């Protein structure tokens, strides 16, 4: 699973708001590590989500879900998303995005069975997004 992205921050009242665009690719590498192999007889759907994780002065750990998608059994299991904007506002609790070099994006999914356990799985492959030191006032999103 690979992600590429560009980003900038804009000032919003008292909290930093981050803007991220990303690509998500889930493809067949060796026939085993793709999403299709997760859909066995007891899997009803996958709830996929892209989350950003980082630390700030204010908070030791922050996690923000930027994007999510429901993939039902039978849907096309290949993901080739390019230039996606985040579905939800990427607000920090404070001003910890400015100059933050260590924001990591990870793709995870919740396996929803027809009946049984509900596991949360994190995909392998995560990408670091460094945020610039200044606020962006001219770019539009």
Partner 1 sequence: GSSRGSAMDLFGDLRRMNKRQLYYQVLNFAMIVSSALMIWKGLIVVTGSESPIVVVLSGSMEPAFHRGDLLFLTNFHDDPIRAGEIVVFKVEGRDIPIVHRVIKVHEKGNGNIKFLTKGDNNEVDDRGLYKEGQNWLEKKDVVGRARGFLPYVGMVTIIMNDYPKFKYALLAVMGAYVLLKRES
Q: How many residues of this chain interact with partner 1, rule: CB under 8 A?
A: 30
Contact call for residue 88 and partner 1 (CB under 8 A): yes
Give, as ranges, the residues between 119 and 138 that touch partner 1 (CB under 8 A): 120
- Shortest distance (Å) from residue 93 CB to partner 1: 4
Of 125, 96, 97, 119, nearest in space to 23 by CA: 125
Binding test (CB under 8 A) with partner 1, winner from 17, 65, 79, 81: 65
Q: How far, in Å, CA of 25 to CA of 3, rounded?
A: 7
Binding test (CB under 8 A) with partner 1, winner from 42, 72, 102, 141: 72
- Shortest distance (Å) from residue 28 CB to partner 1: 24
**Residue 35 DSSP one-character state:** G
Three-state DSSP at 37 gives helix
Three-state DSSP at 38 gives helix
Taking CB under 8 A as the binding criterion, the range among 6-14, 23-31, 61-69, 124-132 that sits at the site for partner 1 is: 61-69
Contact call for residue 49 and partner 1 (CB under 8 A): yes
Contact call for residue 86 and partner 1 (CB under 8 A): no
Q: Which residues bind partner 1 (CB under 8 A)?
A: 44-45, 47, 49, 51, 53, 58-65, 68, 70, 72, 88, 91, 93, 108, 110, 112-118, 120
């Amino acid at each position: 699973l690979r992600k590429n992205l560009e980003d900038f921050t804009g000032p919003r009242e008292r909290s930093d708001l981050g803007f991220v665009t990303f690509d998500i690719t889930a493809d067949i590498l060796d026939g085993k590590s793709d999403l299709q192999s997760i859909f066995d007889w007891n899997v009803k759907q996958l709830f996929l989500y892209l989350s950003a994780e980082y630390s700030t002065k204010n908070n030791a750990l922050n996690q923000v879900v930027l994007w999510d998608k429901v993939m039902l059994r039978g849907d096309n299991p290949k993901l080739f998303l390019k230039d996606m904007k985040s579905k939800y506002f990427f607000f920090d609790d404070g001003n910890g995005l400015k100059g933050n070099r260590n924001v990591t994006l990870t793709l995870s999914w919740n396996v929803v069975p027809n009946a049984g356990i509900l596991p949360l799985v994190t995909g392998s492959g995560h990408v670091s997004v460094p945020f610039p030191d200044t606020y962006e006032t001219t770019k539009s999103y």
